[in-house]
Amino acid sequence: MSKVKLTDYVVEFLQKKGIHDFFGYQGTMIAHLVDSIEKNPHARSHSSYHEQGAAFAACGYAQAKNACGCAYATSGPGAANLLSGVADAYFDSLPVIFITGQLNTYEYSGITGLRQQGFQEINMVSMAKPVTKYAVQVRDPKNIVRELNLAWQIANTGRKGPVLIDLPMNVQRGEVEDPAYDMEFSEEEIETAVYGKNDPENGAAFYRDAVAKADSSDGAEAAEYILDKIRTAKRPVFMIGHGASGEAEKMLTDLARAHHIPVITSVLARSALSFDDPLNFGCIGGAYGHRYANMIANVKSDLLLCFGISLCTRQIGTKVHEFAKNAEIIRVDIDPYNLQREIHEGREGEKCFCVSAETVVRKLTEQQAQIGSYEEWLAVCQKIRKELWKVDDETPQRYPNRMIAYLSDQLSDTGAVAVDVGQHMVWSYQSFHNQQGQKTLFSGGHGAMGYALPAAIGAYYATGKPVACICGDGAFQMNIQELQWVKRENIPVKMIVMNNEALGMIRHLQRDYFDCVYADTSDGSGFSSCDFTDVAQAYGIPAKRIQGEDVEKYAGGFLEQNGPELLEIMLEHGTYAYPKTCLGEPIHNQQPYIPKPIFDELMEL
């Protein structure tokens, strides 16, 4: 029998699966794993300066590569600091293996109710379970082969997501006999591991019942139903979400191109098409979506074909039953619980299929001769886009959008652009000119400030190309310490900090709903920002501060330099994100309102 040190096996296993970059922070209880990474010639460890940075880097890596990432941390506070990144991976369906160190098993007292078993011990499995597909502590070295293979399969199949393996220190230094790298588990074994025992009220049986309530199939039935509906439709639209990433996304956009079908995406799926693709009709958004996306989906289409998109209230507005009332909605999603969201009241004119988007789209591609061509409908959508684009371009408050559009042209050669959370996120998904193949990365469901800088670092190791991140002054301060990581590894990341010296999105809310009391959001009212240029230069990174009106004069030349750079753009305090749906309004009638003659004309098309 062959024997290998347990942590050597873990690293070798992940390396064989294609993971060569590991993100984390060293500590006593994870030192054996880090040592094994160091000694493996095909593995590289990248140390962050806060474990949250390591977790977000693994998320950015997984997003940019459309593949599994890995992050690690020591026990106690180190492991707990990973959790925001774990949650980000969970809500955005990112396959990431999280590995945490833990107290030696022989130090556990066995005393029920004892608050802590030893120094820096924390029940990480219990803490992580709500935001992982699978979380387990390995207490015996002989169990690692099964648990690691099982965790890998769980993370990378079905609706993808994070798993966490908690490794006590004495287990890490144990030995593995006959290591295996490609064990296969049945669908039933996976479901039982993920959802628990076959408890009819809370477990695998409950999950299977949820699948049955949708319409589980091999994709053929779903494809036939879609083909039948599309034959009679006059105005079909493909709506693509992150659940249709990878091959499904490519096949869908190819289908759309062949048959002149408009495409609308979620924010996370924004880079499915380049910004200037004739079929790209923007991001759906209940509050800040593209005007033309909202109008086309909500009131102009008669058939919405939704692939891997949640249709949550953030996308379609809080008045869910008012969305696309005159359109038939067909939803394809691998998550049966997501399909339990009822869009049309009583499911009237709504059909759900619990099956992977790729399976269905492959069937549609095979039978696409049955799909007609929709040039006239596409021309209507193009007119709507042209008119509403002009309305927005003439809105003075949207000058930050024009800055983003200019800056995006200067960043066109970057492999990925990570965008943080705040007003700049809205400006970016509305106006960034992404090129074909250029990834735009967001923290979607979790909406975590501090995401962009470490995510961009992870994206660099995923793509091997220069990257960029776009942040606000509030978001950038969340993980500003990772500037040392950028400097240490000379990572070619262009950092754009849009500094309005405020938490602009909350400030906008306070203006509208809190009588302009800007508590903890503005300079002099409990919030302030540093000079980011001075901070970056202190880390040894070239940096420049410019005024917003000087972007086109100075930004281009500065961003042409090699290596990491930080560009700080000073904005006025009272910046706003538009268009915005006012509370209670239909999502196709956003503020500032469309001039009535234009609105009436477009509604008649």
Residues 351 and 410 both lie in one domain: no
Sign (positive/negative) of CA torsion 364, 368, 373, 379? positive
Give the domain-ending residue among 391, 421, 446. 391
521: helix, strand or coil: coil
Q: What is the pLDDT of residue 271?
A: 96
Closest CA to 10 of 148, 150, 103: 148
- Same domain, yes or no: 42 and 58: yes
**Coil/strand/helix, residue 298:** helix
Whether 159 and 226 share a structural domain: no
Residue 201 included in any domain: no
pLDDT at 74: 98
Instruction: Please check whether residue 578 lies inside any domain of the structure.
Output: no
Residue pLDDT, tens place only, 432-489: 999 999 999 999 999 999 999 999 999 999 999 999 999 999 999 999 999 999 999 9
Residue 298's CATH number:
3.40.50.1220
For the chain, the average pLDDT equals 95
Q: Give 250's contacts (C-beta < 8 A, 6+ positions apart).
A: none
CA pair distance 587, 316, nearest whole angstrom:
7
Give the range of the structural domain holding residue 349, as residue numbers without chain letter. 214-391
* Same domain, yes or no: 383 and 412: no
Residue type for position 86: V
How confident is the model over 158-170, as a mean pLDDT? 97
More confident residue, 570 or 208: 570
pLDDT category of residue 204 using cuts at 50, 70 and 90: confident
pLDDT at 199 over 70: no
Query: Same domain, yes or no, for 426 and 377?
Result: no
- Amino acid at residue number 315: Q
Question: Burial, 329: exposed, middle or buried (Cβ in 10 Å; 0-12, 13-18, 19+)?
Answer: buried
307 bridge partner residues? 240, 332
pLDDT band for position 200 (cuts 50, 70, 90): low
Sheet holding 69-73, edge to edge: 44-47, 21-24, 69-73, 96-102, 163-168, 134-137
Indicate the residue type of 88.
D
Residues 568 and 284: their CA atoms lie apart, in Å, by 30
Strand partners, 580: 591
Helix, strand, coil fractions of the chain, as percent rounded to 5: 45, 15, 35
Domain presence at residue 364: yes
Query: Are residues 80 and 120 both part of a single domain?
Result: yes
Tokens 């004495």 identify what position? Answer: 170
- The answer as to whether 229 is a domain residue is yes
Residue ending a domain, choose from 329, 362, 391: 391
The backbone torsions φ and ψ at residue 417, rounded to the nearest 5 degrees and listed phi first, read: -130, 115
Say yes or no: 335 and 432 in one domain: no
E strand or H helix at 135, and its extent? strand 134-137
pLDDT (tens digit, 9 = 90+) per residue, 220-245? 999 999 999 999 999 999 999 999 99
Claim to verify: residue 408 and residue 501 sit in the same structural domain: yes
* Residues 330-369 pLDDT 10s: 999 999 999 999 999 999 999 999 999 999 999 999 999 9
Q: Note whether residue 535 is domain-resident.
A: yes
Within-domain flag for 575: no
What letter would DSSP give residue 25?
A: -
Q: Which band of pLDDT confidence, cut at 50, 70 and 90, is reported for residue 43?
A: very high
Distance between CA atoms of 27 and 39, rounded to whole angstroms?
17
Q: What's the angle, vertex CA 300, arms to CA 298 and CA 302, rounded to 5?
A: 90
**521: left (phi > 0), else alpha (psi -120 to 50), else beta?**
alpha
| pLDDT > 80? residue 214 | no
**pLDDT at 206 (0 to 100):** 78
Same domain, 91 and 156: yes
pLDDT for 561: 83
Q: Which residues contact 387 (CB under 8 A, 6 or more apart)?
A: 598, 601, 602
Number of domains in the chain: 3
Res. 201: pLDDT tops 70: no
- The reply to whether 223 and 175 lie within a common domain is no
Tell me the CATH number at 142: 3.40.50.970
Q: Do 376 and 412 share a domain, yes or no? A: no
User: What is the reported pTM?
Assistant: 0.96
Instruction: Let me know whether 169 and 268 are in one domain.
Output: no
Band of the pLDDT at 213, cuts 50, 70, 90? confident
For residue 140, the 8-state DSSP code is S
- 352 is a domain residue: yes
How many Å separate Cα 248 from the centre of its chain? 17
> What 3-state class would DSSP assign to 64?
helix
What percent of the chain clears pLDDT 70, i.e. is strictly above it?
99
Q: What is the mean pLDDT of residues 301-306?
A: 98
Contact 214, 336 (CB under 8 A): yes
Which of 391, 409, 440 is a domain's end point?
A: 391
- Token couple for 9: 């096996």
**Which of 171 and 524 is assigned the larger pLDDT?**
171
Residue 441 in tokens: 């990365």
Closest-CA residue to 137 (of 102, 96, 86): 102
pLDDT score of 23 more than 90: yes
Decide: 543 and 564 in contact? Cβ < 8 Å: no
